[in-house]
């Protein structure tokens, strides 16, 4: 079975993330969406909230499993028999960081491959940080995130 891992903080999940996950599902037998617990990074949503939002956003999508993890990505991958890490790229600046991480992961776990998927043109500008900033200032994030995330952001930020 070909199992791929799409890791990320998903704070919150965007339509760009969903696009990458949907495309990965077409290529692999199973896709694990790994919600990263990073105590060194401040998140708007808790790990539990992010897992719930991702799970709700993926309802009806077959061959997908959502799980949170902390620690080394390569250890999580080994525990779940993952052989491929999927990373979405929006710009060359994303590539620089992800290129280094791919080589580091390969050094730690030679059996792992990293597959880079280019963002679809309509999502090249989209990031969770931008979504949070728009929502924080009362702007509409419709068309940038799934509908359930619009609701979650409004509730979290106490915006009408």
- Which residues participate in catalysis according to the annotation? 17, 41, 90, 128
Q: Which two tokens stand for residue 1?
A: 């079975």
Contact 10, 35 (CB under 8 A): yes
Largest Cα–Cα distance in the chain?
Answer: 49
User: Nearest 5°: CA angle at 10, between 151 and 90?
Assistant: 115
Q: In whole angstroms, how far apart are CA 61 and each of 18, 58, 117?
A: 10, 5, 19
Distance of alpha carbon 61 from alpha carbon 77, whole angstroms: 21
């Amino acid at each position: 079975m070909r199992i791929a891992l799409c890791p990320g903080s998903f704070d919150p999940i965007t339509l760009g993330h969903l696009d990458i996950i949907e495309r990965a599902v077409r290529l692999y037998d199973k896709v694990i969406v790994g919600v990263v617990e990073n105590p060194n990074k401040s998140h708007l949503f808790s790990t539990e909230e992010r897992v719930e939002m991702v799970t709700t956003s993926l309802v009806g999508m077959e061959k997908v499993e959502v799980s949170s993890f902390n620690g080394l990505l390569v250890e999580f991958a080994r525990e779940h028999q993952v052989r491929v890490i999927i990373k979405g790229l929006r710009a060359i600046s994303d590539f620089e960081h992800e290129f280094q991480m791919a080589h580091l992961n390969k050094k730690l776990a030679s059996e792992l491959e990293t597959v880079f998927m280019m963002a679809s043109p309509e999502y090249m500008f989209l990031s969770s940080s931008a979504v949070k900033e728009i929502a924080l200032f009362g702007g509409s994030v419709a068309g940038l995130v799934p509908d359930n995330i619009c609701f979650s952001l409004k509730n979290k930020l106490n915006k009408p």
